[in-house]
Amino acid sequence: MAVIKLDSGYNIGVEADCCTFVAHAAPATPRSVPVNQDPSLPELAIISTGGTIASRIDYRTGAVTSQFDADDILIAIPALAGIARYRTKQLYTILSENMTPSIWQELARAVYAEIQRGVTGIIVTHGTDTMAYSAAALSFMIDTPVPIVFVGSQRSADRPSSDNAVNAVCAASAARSDLGEVAIVMHATTSDDSCAIHRGTRVRKMHTSRRDAFQSIGLDPIGTVDYSTRKVTLGAHAVRRKTHEPALHEALDERCGLVQFYPGMPPEILSAYEGYKGLVLSGTGLGHVSTALIPRIRALIDGGTLVVMTSQCLHGRVCDRVYDTGRDLLAAGVIEGNDMIPEAALVKMMWVLGNEQDKKRAARLMKTDLKGECIGRSAHGC
């Protein structure tokens, strides 16, 4: 079917052979809207990976437009101009499901370069699907004295109700705040009134479509941003600006996997992970898989694979000392993954194995809190 745009603005589909070629449409003229950046404001870097913060869809080709500079962002979200001045870098324009560990590394290098350049904070625009993985990856790879804020939108920028403007304004506010760690800043509720600041290693996308899809797991958000006043309130547990000296440890070992156990799962599935350096299991309850899987797991460990147990409950701590199966897993050499979110445990494993060759020390690191991914005590209500 060919699509016709009528004078009224409506589109209709007709058989392509009803149409006659008349002429090619004139190319769209690029807009030139002057944008003024206030030199007295602190400088933030915006690194884009393909998030929808300022993207435009070209409806004729279906492609997302590649022009992406400070002007584009400020045209799309004029309120940003009152918060900071911006330098921008477009690293990628990809859907976040197409992210890879090597892109995390490239992103880490780009962010680190901005830290060294002395910007007040960094905003990373990112698709929401795998934003939590990337935020966790940067948490481990970079020691940062300044805020590194991931932001995206759940409703695309081409709709008047998009959450992009509120999220971007809150992200920029957080990026010039007293924060000193990697965070995700997105809507706190379904309303356009405030955003939550989530720790990069403790956050998860918990809803397919809601604006407040991102939730901190096992702890309260590390801060909030009030949209109308731009006021940033940090929790006592948030890492403050300049707590850490800048450092980049970009090595990752990608030969790691994450497997969710389900009742009746055939043990053969685990054979696919032979030769892997690490495997995170997302087990049931306190951290269990069926007894039938244990011989294969033992074989993997004996073959040199580091195996860490997490829980598909997401909330709570793994404890393999309560039931027989758990004890058998511990006897086979499985490491309890504390209260880590499975995805954060996977990313951490890649980073640990990329930076630590010694198996025993790597195993100990997996149990140790490095960037807030493990919480020592389980508080009420979280």
Partner 1 sequence: MAVKNAELTAGIEIHQQLDTREKLFCRCPTTLRETAEHTGEFHRYLRATESEMGTIDRAAQEEMKRDRLFTYYPYDTTCLVENDEEPPAPLNDEALCVCLTIAKMFSMTAVPQVHTMRKLVIDGSNTSGFQRTALVAMNGTLPNGGLIETICLEEEAAQRVKDDVFSLDRLGIPLVEITTSPCMHTPEEVQEVAEYIGMVLRSTGCVKRGIGTIRQDVNISIPAGARVEIKGVQELDLIAEVVRREVRRQEALIAIRDELKGRGATVDPAAIQDVTPLFSGTKSAILKRAKKCLGITLPGFAGLVGREIQPDRRLGSEMSDYAKKCGVGGIFHTDELPAYGVTAEEVAALRTQLNAKKTDCIIIVAGASEKQATCAANQVILRARLALSDHPVPEETRKMLETGSTAYMRPLPGAARMYPETDVLPVCITTSRWEAIPVPELLTVKAEQFVQDYVIERPYALQLAASDKLPLFQRAVTEGIKPKLAAFTVLSTATELRRDGVEIKMISDEDYLAVWHAVEKGRAAKEAIPALLRNIASGCPVGQAIEQLAPVVSHEELESIIQKIIDERKEFVQTKKMAALGPLMGVVMAEVRGSVDGKVVSGILKQQILLATQGK
Catalytic (active-site) positions = 52, 128-129, 205
63 binds partner 1, rule: CB under 8 A: no
Asked if residues 53 and 164 have their Cβ atoms less than 8 Å apart, the reply is yes
Classified as helix, coil or strand, 292 is: helix
Instruction: Return the number of the residue (11 or 233) whose C-beta is nearest partner 1.
Output: 11
Q: Using CA atoms, how far apart are residues 239 and 237, in angstroms rounded to an integer?
A: 6
Asked if residue 8 binds partner 1 (CB under 8 A), the reply is yes
112/91 Cα distance (integer angstroms): 13
Q: Whose Cβ is closer to partner 1: residue 189's or residue 233's?
A: 189
Provide, rounded to whole angstroms, the least separation between the CB of residue 37 and partner 1. Answer: 21
34 lies in the site for partner 1, by CB under 8 A = no
Q: Report, in Å, the least distance between residue 192 CB and partner 1.
A: 5
Nearer to partner 1, 129 or 369 (CB): 129
Return the closest-CA partner of residue 218 out of 343, 349, 377: 377
Distance CA 24, CA 55 (A): 25
Which residue from 38, 116, 193, 367 is in contact with partner 1, where contact means CB under 8 A?
Answer: 193
Asked if 26 is part of the footprint of partner 1 (rule: CB under 8 A), the reply reads: no
Kindly state the smallest distance separating residue 161's Cβ from partner 1, in Å: 4
Residues of span 210-249 touching partner 1 by CB under 8 A: 210-211
- β-sheet bridge partners, residue 215: 204
Residues 114-143 that bind partner 1 (CB under 8 A): none
Residue 157 carries which DSSP code?
Answer: T
Q: Does 255 bind partner 1 (CB under 8 A)?
A: no
- If one asks whether residue 176 binds partner 1 (CB under 8 A), the answer comes out as no
Residue 294 in contact with residue 366, Cβ under 8 Å? no
Name the strands in the sheet holding 278-283, side by side, starting at the edge strand that comes first in the sequence: 256-260, 278-283, 306-311, 335-336
189: contact with partner 1 by CB under 8 A:
yes
Q: Which of 270, 286, 353 is nearest to 322 (CA)?
A: 286
Minimum CB–partner distance for residue 357 and partner 1 (Å): 47
Under a CB-based contact definition with an 8 Å cutoff, are residues 313 and 285 in contact? yes
Contact between 11 and partner 1 per CB under 8 A:
yes
| Shorter beta-carbon distance to partner 1: residue 215 or 312 | 215
Q: Cα(137)–Cα(72) distance, rounded to whole angstroms?
A: 28
d(CA 31, CA 184) in angstroms, rounded, equals 32
Token reading at 230: 């731009």
C-alpha span between 203 and 347 (Å, rounded) = 13
Which residue is listed with tokens 């400020």? 74
In terms of CB distance, is 17 or 245 closer to partner 1?
17
Least distance CB 210 / partner 1 (angstroms): 5
288 interacts with partner 1 by CB under 8 A: no
* In the complex, minimum distance from the CB of residue 14 to partner 1, in angstroms, rounded to a whole number: 5
- Binding site residues, partner 1, CB under 8 A: 1, 3, 5-15, 28, 31, 56-57, 59-60, 155, 157-162, 165-166, 189-193, 208-211
